[in-house]
Amino acid sequence: MLVLVTGVNGQLGYDVVKELEEKGHQAQGTIRSDFDLTNEAEVRSYVQKVKPDAIIHCAAYTNVDQAETDRDNAYKVNALGTKFLAQTANEIQAKMVYVSTDYVFNGSATEPYEVYHPTKPLGVYGETKLAGEEFLISNLDAHYIVRTAWVYGSNGNNFVKTMLRLGEERGEVGVVHDQIGSPTYTVDLASFLVELIESDKFGIYHASNSGICSWYEFAVEIFKQSGLAVKVNPLTSDQFPRPATRPKYSVLSKNKLIEEGFTPLRNWKEALTAYLTEMKK
């Protein structure tokens, strides 16, 4: 299968291409200079030239705080870019995976979000990603939407790298303890995305590593596994104000994934161990 992967220089796209190639597929990874996602003519021209069997759309406007004041660009990338890809995929009869986010929910739940639970984004990033979901559904029947959360991988910046850097520099960090979710290792998510696109089990899925923690607990575990003696101080979200409001509760239910016969991603602590081992290499 020939698979077009957008955002290959990002954390997830990088691992998706590796996983596709390991599974014997032909991967066409793209970066921003290959075509402008926000330009309909460029999207159509590039995709029709490549004629992939499938598209895994990892590219996104992911700066959650900046999106609050840069709504137009966030919408063009996350919503319109997805629409243009979906329309072209429909024309060439390709299937498409769109990577979405826990930020489509408002975080007021007390038990894991199912794929059918009502969406209600708190900010621009979540709104534009949800608009991308809606464009995909309305323009392409052969679609998969995969909502994920708290992503980290070897390629690019992430929470784990930031904690390790700050821990070594300062020996003490403050991390919010009142935001709950599940970290997601890109290697594990990439494996699921490739398994998904090899099937015709279309629809919406939630995929993150198994288990639940707060950002504070995640940080404590990072230092524990790294053997770093760092003091971690629990903070409330109010003590750490950001331009964009974060969902307090971001736990995604894996019921749909299991019902469709897929294997849930491993526990987040195991995944962290594998990631730290990868980073040492």
User: How far apart are the C-alpha atoms of 4 and 143, rounded to whole Å?
Assistant: 14
Q: Identify each DSSP E strand in 143-186 by its residue range.
A: 143-148, 151-152, 172-176, 180-181, 184-185
As given in the structure block, the two tokens for residue 201 are: 């089990």
Characterise 52 by phi-psi region: left (phi > 0), alpha (psi -120 to 50), beta (else): beta
Residue in 125, 152, 216, 249 annotated catalytic: 125
**3-class secondary-structure state, position 189:** helix
Cβ pair 158, 151 in contact under 8 A: yes
What letter would DSSP give residue 32? T
Residue 195: enclosing H or E segment and its boundaries?
helix 186-197
Q: Is the dihedral of CA 167, 281, 158, 107 positive or negative?
A: negative
Asked if 216 is an active-site residue, the reply is no
User: How far apart are the C-alpha atoms of 205 and 13, rounded to whole Å?
Assistant: 18
Active site amino acids: 125
